[in-house]
Amino acid sequence: MKKRAIYKKEQRFRKIRRKSVFSGIFILVIVFLLLDAAVMVGAIAMGNAIFTSRIGIEYEGFSAFANMYESSETADEDLWSRLDGSGRTYLIKDQDGKIIHQNGVNTMSDRFGRMELMDSFATFRIEEGKDIPGIDVHLGTVDEKDAIRLSGFEVVTVKCYEDMGESAIHSSEGDIELNFLKLIPKGEFFNNRKYKGNDVISAHPVWVAIDVKDGKETLYGKVFLSVTGRDFSFAIALIIGVVTTILVVLAVLVINIISTVRYQKKMTMIFLTDDSTKGHNWMWFLLRGGNYIRKKWHDKYNYAVLDFVFVNYRNYCMCHSIEEGEELLTRVDRILRDNTNRWHEFVAHYASANFAVMLRYGSDEEFKARVDDILSKLMKVDPDQIFQFHIGVKFLPAASEKNGKFRRRKDTDLEVEYNDACTARATLVNNDSSGIAFYDEKLVEDQKWNDVVRASQEKALENEEFLVYYQPKYDPKTDKLNGAEALIRWNSPEYGFKGPGAFIPIFEKNGFIKKIDHYMLTHVARDQKKWFDAGLSCVPVSVNISRAHFIEPDLAEQIRDAVDKEGTPRELIEIELTESAFFDDKNALINIINKLKEYGFAVSMDDFGSGYSSLNSLKDMPLDVLKLDAEFFRGNSDGNRGEIVVSEAISLAKKLNMRTVAEGVEAKDQVEFLAAQGCDMIQGYYYAKPMPGNEYEQRMTMDR
């Protein structure tokens, strides 16, 4: 099925909505990832910088130690005691890997793996997989009393000068400033651990290696990477800073998304709100109602779509103002909403005075009661006056039951359903009081036929597809032809042969009837003129003129000119006006009748007694003929009473100097009765059906 514009619009709307929310979330994720990456890179860079600088310092200290070893000429006990006295954990290996000397507990293990210092200090290694046995060390050089197991010590760098006595260290460079290592007992150290004046929180051993004696030997030493309180505070501050930044950015983005969503909700509201009633609009009905009904495919309830039309709306706006009219529409909307279920039923202002409503109901009785109730409330929408409403109803296809489950068509299109409800409601158009019309298949057929007729009328007229049939009128006393009525037929090459019932009411509605009546008048006048000239004994033929003409003040002149144009004697044409025409402007009608009579045309009142009583019109209308409606001779009303009415109507006409025609007479006894009552003419199947001109021509010769 082709997607309707409205659904396309909704899809577009949803897309925009999704897009803006998704773009918000997308930005959020991207920013989050970027910040994350930045934090990681920063942390690695910072860690590296600290690590490098710390190791660098340690390495420098160890280099001084290596210098100390290298600068001594002989490796004797004195050298070892001096070196061991520094408290360092170290070992010296020759090129073959043989240990020359070692001091302290060797904690070198696999765990550290191979490490390389990245910057300019030097490359130093930690040997893999070699376990070096731990030894006790005595700090002979610094202070014998401080000799403690090496594993219990931390390393710090201190500055020291040659003249400092007991802590002096030989240096090949003379009395220069040099770093050396001092061991501090761990217990003590933990209470008062400092690194460059900062509290040390933890220290991690790292093995460094320096090639000495022109690479013939390697000196391995254990140094310590200290983490101070300042490092820790710095890291905490950094983390807090970064986390705060991330949180702020996140909060901004989240606020942005929330406000976007709220803005969209507002937009949706505007999009679905009716301007005049401030209730829901048609779009809302289609979207919400449509989604609802398509989901309710398993529902056992029945649903109907209704079109409510506030009949007096335009008049009300004319008498008051548009604002007051809209105020009234708002009240209508409120009544509809107050009387419907807000979860399962839908009300929307369609346009102008139309409201679309979808109702849910159980039984037909319940539905009728609901609609009646709503209608009675609507009619009292204004306390000062009663308003009229027209309602069109389209019942949605009922749910079909299968194994206790209810199934409804999932592709229900509310626009189509509402349109059907409107089609039903449109049948009430000419009705001034409130009413309900129901949609059925015949209505669609009618509607389609209506469109076909409208589309082909002009062409059919041009092609002379409309034919004049003549139905003779007979004098019941003599059985002689003394008149006829011209009746239209449509011989359509496309749609077949059609009687006037199939198209005259449509022409009356769409205004084409004026052209048709003129066409008939012209053709009848032409035929009459032809027959008259041929010497046939012509009788007056009556032509139907629809009430739609009577607003034209020069109608009588138009008729006269049309007949004269064909050169037809005017007395051969009679004009039939339907009874309903007599409800229009009475004076205008009297005027036209007088003129027609003056020009020499007989005028008859058609269908007398069919609708409302037009007895009153008889009083003022100077008519020539009264045509008694076929209804008098139909049905099974009490024969006696019917006869009384007919005979009285005939005698009334006689008293008013009018001739009478009885229409639709089919039986012999009716003819005899009418003859006895003094009825002048009979037009009915008893004598003849409407017939084409050539057949009628024969009647003129045979029956005169």
In the list 362, 499, 567, 622, the residue contacting ligand C2E (rule: CB under 6 A) is 499
Amino acid occupying residue 674: L
In the list 140, 500, 569, 611, the residue contacting ligand C2E (rule: CB under 6 A) is 500
The packing angle between helices 668-677 and 639-655, to 10°, is 40
Q: At its nearest, how many Å lie between ligand C2E and the CB of residue 546?
A: 4
Q: At its nearest, how many Å lie between ligand C2E and the CB of residue 505?
A: 9
Handedness of CA 511, 516, 521, 526 (dihedral sign): positive
Q: At its nearest, how many Å lie between ligand C2E and the CB of residue 642?
A: 16
Which of the residues 452 through 471 are near ligand C2E (CB under 6 A)?
Answer: 471
CB–CB of 313/352 below 8 Å? yes
Binding mask 595-634 for ligand C2E (x = CB under 6 A): -----------xx----------------------x----
The region of 339-347, 367-375, 566-574, 677-685 touching ligand C2E under the rule CB under 6 A is 677-685
488 touches ligand C2E by CB under 6 A: yes
> Of the candidates 485, 402, 387, 461, which has an alpha carbon nearest to the alpha carbon of residue 681?
485
Q: How far apart are CA 475 and CA 543, in angstroms?
A: 19
Enter the tokens of residue 591: 């005027």
Q: Residues in the chain, how many? A: 704
Interaction partner, residue 274 (ligand C2E, Ca ion, none; CB < 5-8 Å by kind):
none
Q: At its nearest, how many Å lie between Ca ion and the CB of residue 597?
A: 18
What is the per-residue DSSP string for 99-167?
EEEEES-----GGG------STT------SS----------TTT-GGG---GGGEEEEEEEE-GGGGGG
- If the CB atoms of residues 326 and 703 are measured against ligand C2E, the closer one turns out to be 703
CB–CB of 169/144 below 8 Å? no
Q: At its nearest, how many Å lie between ligand C2E and the CB of residue 684?
A: 3
Q: How far apart are CA 332 and CA 314, in angstroms?
A: 14
In this structure, the dihedral spanned by the alpha carbons of residues 78, 79, 80 and 85, taken in order and rounded to 10 degrees, is: 90
Q: At its nearest, how many Å lie between ligand C2E and the CB of residue 517?
A: 5
Q: At its nearest, how many Å lie between ligand C2E and the CB of residue 527?
A: 13
Q: Is 2 helix (H, G, I), strand (E, B) or coil?
A: coil
In the list 85, 289, 476, 684, the residue contacting ligand C2E (rule: CB under 6 A) is 684
Residue pointed to by tokens 């929310």: 21
546 touches ligand C2E by CB under 6 A: yes
9 backbone dihedrals φ, ψ, rounded to 5°: -60, -45
In the list 323, 429, 685, 701, the residue contacting ligand C2E (rule: CB under 6 A) is 685
- If the CB atoms of residues 345 and 517 are measured against ligand C2E, the closer one turns out to be 517
Interaction partner, residue 690 (Ca ion, ligand C2E, none; CB < 5-8 Å by kind):
ligand C2E
- If the CB atoms of residues 482 and 544 are measured against ligand C2E, the closer one turns out to be 544
Interaction partner, residue 326 (Ca ion, ligand C2E, none; CB < 5-8 Å by kind):
none
666 touches ligand C2E by CB under 6 A: yes
269 Cα distance to chain centroid? 12
Q: At its nearest, how many Å lie between ligand C2E and the CB of residue 524?
A: 9
Return residues touching Ca ion (CB under 5 A). Answer: 544, 576, 606-607, 663
Instruction: Provide the 8-state DSSP code for 288.
Output: I
- If the CB atoms of residues 282 and 490 are measured against ligand C2E, the closer one turns out to be 490
164 Cα distance to chain centroid? 92
Q: Which residues bind ligand C2E (CB under 6 A)?
A: 471, 487-488, 499-501, 504, 513, 516-517, 520, 544, 546, 606-607, 630, 663-666, 683-685, 690
